[in-house]
Amino acid sequence: MAELLFRIGRLAARRPWTVVVAWLGVLALNAVTYVSFAGALSTSITLPDTPTTRVSQQLERNFEGTGGGNATIVAATSDGSAFTTDQRREVSALLDRVAEVDDVSDVADPFATQDRLDSSARKVAAGEAELKEGLARLREAQAQIDLGRAAIEQQREQARADGTLDDVRRQLDAAGQQLDDGQAELDRQRARVEEQSAPLADGVTLSDLSSGYRTVSEDGSAAVANVTFAVPITEVTLEVKTEIEDLVAGADIAGVELHPSQDIAQGVPSILGPGEVAGVVIAAIALFVVLGTLLGAALPLVTALLGVGVASLASLSFSGVVEFVSVTPVLGVMLGLAVGIDYSLFIINRHRRQLKQGAGLHESIGLANGTSGNAVVFAGVTVIVALLALNVTGVGFLGLMGTVGAVAVAVAILMAVTLTPAVLALVGPRILRRRERRRLASGEEAADDTAVTERDRPMSNRRALTTLGLGVVALLAVAAPATQMRLGLPDGSTQPPDSSGYLAHVVQADKFGEGSNGPLLVVADLPAAIAQDDVLAEQATIGSALGQMWAVDAVVPIGASRDRTALAFQVVPRGGPSSQSTQDLVEDLRRLTPTTTDGGRARLGVAGNASANIDISGQLSDVLPVYLVLVVGLSLLILVVIFRSILVPLTATLGFVLSLLAAFGGITAIFQLGFLADLFGVHAPGPVLSFLPIIATGILFGLAMDYQLFLVSGMRESYAHGALARVAVQHGLNAGRAVVTAAAVIMISVFAGFVFSHDATIKPIGFGLAFGVLLDAFVVRMLLIPAAMHLLGEHAWWLPRWLDRVLPDVDVEGARLERTHPVHHSG
């Protein structure tokens, strides 16, 4: 591989414009395919065959008008007063216009809906009062009849005592017959009342259960309109959502603020905002410090940006065929920028060192490509393998994110080993500082910094033990909050405070309760089909069981399936969609088997946004350990091959696990527990983004192995050349520390730029990757690994003889190439 890369680098240096034009052609071709074939990005994350999707499919299949997606439009008066008649009319007119948008099947007028709810409640109350009054009259009539019978019996006894019974018998019998006739009529009336009282009692039960559900707030200052789509919410196009947003924004109703909910207002996050640009600027400053020239600092940025353009356009060209989650291309940009700058830097830095030692231009470019470029290829392949391994999880959108990220890294590698040599040839000696060029022109060459010197004196055992102990304790302390990590997906509360989704969430929470932002759909599968006349009674029976759950605010019956084997309810939880109480409620509902009217047991299924988030988070939590084991196994295997050692891979992997757990702890502390939340712009701490741990595991593993390779390969090379093991550790650290520090600073800067994104999905990803690289590069790779290897001494490089014979010699640093192509003076 090193020899091949040497030839590629030298060829690119000799034909630089051909390489540059070829890459520009690839960029133009990808731009054409993007314009021709790209589709819309999805703002929703879904998984097939989860409990939620199965219930949603059942609703779509068996219940009238419940299969489409739902969103809301929230209206509120600016001054908090009740809506006026004119305001109500204008809001209703707006909703009529929204109902005409394609893929919108219905928009419920909140004022008309609330009027119907209130009217129904009044009718039920009136019916209940009338029933009570009728029962009172029946009891009074029964009392009169009972008094009459008692009077007749008293008269009969008196007549018997007086001996006049025969004289009054006929009169008493006639009076008794009248009472019997009255009793028969009373019994008939009682039967009719009892016949009416059963459904009325069921109606009263359902009215009480649904009393907490409102579409207009009690003070009349806010209203929520439910928008029903003809397709699932994940299939509603961005064009439809934008059209609804434009209608709402253009309504201009005096004294009324209108806010589409997150399901409508959630857009595609911007790829390069002010924060991201600031990160690139910091990376440029770090490049300038390391390379010393503006031209040198610009080269890695140019190649990385071109690589990002190629990779992003190529990936998005398939978005018309495959559903892309909106965060997917942003992740590709993050990785493409970070590794693209780093990989180019490693080659440029090696080339500069060789030029200062007197190497010829083309020979130096080829040698840098065959040595540092070879290490770049191996480092990049570890990142690619870790990202592609996300496909093993079986989670579609995660696999696609990993694939897009792998494409970005692959393009960065190709850019580094082809375009970087070409650009270096065009730049020529100007990659060096002026004084370096003057020194070289005078015949003064830089000293060979690969030789062991006095500064490579090893650390003391005491210092190594102290460094290792304190470092491990510090990382474990930072990792502690991860024990409380909860996973979830962003809801309206996590959106930017000035966004429509956030404002809609706040109004609903304040005026209707937190649970109104995440109602649940509950389907009760009955033991057998029921008659139409029994639906109301069954709804009341099962609804009562649902209403008795401690975290439920309201239960609203939706209807029965076409074959009446299932009933559907809307359940409004007490907590918000991402709260622990709602998660517990979903799990409790799924375990509940309420008794039906005939004594059987119903089975419950739950759907809705909160339920979907719980299912996605749960499935991702389940695959995370499997993926972590896979990544750790790959880590050990790759590092054993590269370093020809058993203990070096073990220490590297344990260090990675420590830095990963510490990164999880930092994420949990800030984004879930709210520690330093204001500093990072987290105004609503909540569950950690559900797919962040597994994405961070893959990316940070690859990057950790990058730094391990660039630092420890120097140690191994020094040891192979005869240096004592502990001296080799210090020499390798001294030789690689500067460039790895710069590379880490660049990567942290690029990732940290995304921390200031307004998107609640991008922000924690940017922080997690930046914090993870910070810990792994500066704590694990530069402190813990050298200390551990110092303590291991010669044992660090132990390898069983049989394994030594089996393993291939990959020569990551291109040592054999250096021996066959030694650096020599250009003159």
Tens-digit pLDDT profile for residues 122-162: 887 777 777 777 778 778 888 888 888 888 888 888 887 77
Q: What is the DSSP letter of 681?
A: T
Whether residue 90 is predicted with pLDDT greater than 80 in this model: the reply is yes
Q: Which tokens in the block code for residue 584?
A: 């517990």
Q: Using an 8 Å Cβ cutoff, are 396 and 48 in contact?
A: yes
Confidence of residue 328 (pLDDT cuts 50, 70, 90): confident
How much is the pLDDT for 826?
44
Which residue from 578, 558, 590, 559 is spatially nearest to 518, judged by alpha carbons? 578
pLDDT one-digit tens code per residue, 386-433: 888 888 877 788 888 888 889 999 999 999 999 999 999 998 888 888
Rounded Cα distance, 296 and 89, in Å: 65
**Structure-model confidence comparison of residues 606 and 613, the more confident one:** 606
Average pLDDT over residues 499-528: 90
Report which listed range, 184-198, 260-274, 313-327, 569-583, is most confident.
Answer: 569-583
One-letter amino acid at 113 equals T
Confidence of residue 824 (pLDDT cuts 50, 70, 90): low
pTM over 0.85: no
Rounded Cα distance, 209 and 628, in Å: 46
Confidence of residue 271 (pLDDT cuts 50, 70, 90): low
Q: Which tokens in the block code for residue 687?
A: 């569950």
How much is the pLDDT for 66?
66
Q: Which tokens in the block code for residue 725?
A: 């093991």
How much is the pLDDT for 194?
66
**Structure-model confidence comparison of residues 1 and 61, the more confident one:** 61
Pair type for strands 603-607 and 520-525: antiparallel
Residue whose tokens read 């622990």? 580
Average pLDDT over residues 368-384: 83
CB burial of residue 119 (10 Å; 0-12, 13-18, 19+): exposed
Q: Using an 8 Å Cβ cutoff, are 406 and 388 in contact?
A: yes
CA distances from 555 to 293, 461, 515, 574 (A): 68, 68, 12, 11
Q: Using an 8 Å Cβ cutoff, are 264 and 227 in contact?
A: yes
How much is the pLDDT for 433?
82
Whether residue 196 is predicted with pLDDT greater than 90 in this model: the reply is no
Rounded Cα distance, 189 and 185, in Å: 6
How much is the pLDDT for 688?
87
How much is the pLDDT for 614?
81
Q: Which tokens in the block code for residue 741?
A: 């520090």
Rounded Cα distance, 735 and 714, in Å: 7
How much is the pLDDT for 827?
39
How much is the pLDDT for 825?
47
**Structure-model confidence comparison of residues 276 and 544, the more confident one:** 544
Q: Using an 8 Å Cβ cutoff, are 383 and 631 in contact?
A: no
pLDDT one-digit tens code per residue, 631-681: 778 778 888 887 788 898 899 889 999 999 999 999 999 999 989 888 888
